[in-house]
Amino acid sequence: MTSDTLPRIGITARSAEKSYFDGWVRNYWWAVTWAGGQPVLLTPETAALPPEQQVAQLDGLLLSGGGDIHPKHYQQRMRGTEKHAIHDGRDTLELGLARAALAVDLPILGVCRGFQVLNVALGGSLLQHVDGHRSPKEAVSYHEVAVAPDTLLARALGVEGRFPVNTYHHQAVTADRLAPGLRASAATVQGPDLLEGIEAPDRRWTLAVQWHPERFYELDDRHRRLFSEFVAAAGDR
């Protein structure tokens, strides 16, 4: 990246179709744009290059939210994963991109499914179903998380301790399923073993959260700051 160009931020998605973009990708796109980045959409149907070559064209990687990861990628059988929510092409794309990005220390921000992808990419596994964390269609559910001090997440948000977040997931990363090389930076206040933030302390900027910060972006200074810190890290390459 040169000084007169914006950081190129790859945003993963299941599809490039307009209806999917409008419903699931647009908030990420605008959050990256407002933070000073140039969004680049990465989908299975547009992935003409190997992951390493795609990553070489980026300054940062945003692993977005979505459906379930097939448990074969962490050597388990179906035990709560929803078959209709699996997209094999997306699993292949995102796990490949995550590993390629990690190999060159590209800044990474994972969101919801992306939080889980990061853990699986590094050798962790998932709790395939957890009750009480999926918002109903008619309303958004919230719960409190506790952000650990002296972590990248605390610095990126500008906050430590408890604060409320939205919740849209039914799969989870627990403390005993955390991948080598990652550490917990946030957990639910109901149970510290159910993780909500993870990061890689030996890498320059690798961070993921289980909630959806892009849906808070216009309303919450903490989440505007999170995207700004991510894009700034990408711009420092």
H or E element that contains 29: helix 26-34
Left (φ > 0), alpha (ψ -120 to 50) or beta: where does 56 sit?
A: alpha
Residues near 115 by beta carbon (within 8 Å), at least 6 away in sequence: 63, 173, 198, 208, 209, 210
Q: If we measure between CA atoms, which residue out of 14, 172, 171, 29 comes closest to residue 93?
A: 14
Residues near 89 by beta carbon (within 8 Å), at least 6 away in sequence: 44, 45
Residue 223 annotated in active site: no
Q: Which of 199, 214, 223, 229 is catalytic?
A: 214
- Token code pair at residue 195: 């993780």
Residue 144 annotated in active site: no
* Distance in angstroms (rounded) separating the CA atoms of residues 237 and 234: 6
Helix count and strand count (H, E) for the chain: 7, 9
Residue 212 annotated in active site: yes
Q: Which of 87, 94, 112, 133 is catalytic?
A: 112
- Reported in sequence order, the residue ranges of 58-171 that DSSP labels E, i.e. its strands, are 60-63, 108-111, 141-147, 161-167
Catalytic residues: 112, 212, 214
